[in-house]
Amino acid sequence: LGTVYTPDEIRAICDHAHERGMKVHLDGARIANAAASLDVPMRTFTNTVGVDVLSFGGTKNGALFGEAVVVLNPDAVRAMKHLRKLSMQLASKMRFVSVQLEALLAKDLWLRNARHANAMA
């Protein structure tokens, strides 16, 4: 079982965090399932509600492996370049990860996969 937060709930969390000087990271392992469940575009969970950084999950949406860190807050980009070198994986064969994410995003495959998974659950 999981909880699907509405965009309004995520906005309230983001507002609360930002008022206290904190950034918001959204674990998007199942963001596709949430978007499909509520029948809204993925952006309604992310940049339009104040999320600063999103980890877009490929593995739970049909990819063999791979996640993408998406920086939505321009103020966080500079720090992310340093963190990427410090603690993130930079695969030598990154194209094998990237091609899966590109395929998921092309022609809304991510959404079709999520709708199918939700229907099977």
Q: Is the pTM of this model over 0.85?
A: no
Query: Which segments of the chain are extended strands (E)?
Result: 25-28, 53-57, 67-71
Domain-located, residue 2: no
Contact 32, 61 (CB under 8 A): yes
29, amino acid identity? A
C-beta neighbour count of 7 within 10 angstroms? 18
Domain-located, residue 120: no
Which residues span the domain enclosing 41? 7-114
Contact 45, 26 (CB under 8 A): yes
Domain-located, residue 1: no
Which uninterrupted H or E stretch holds 55? Answer: strand 53-57
- Give residue-wise pLDDT tens across range 53-112: 999 889 999 998 888 889 999 888 877 777 776 666 666 777 888 899 999 999 999 999
Number of independent structural domains in the chain: 1
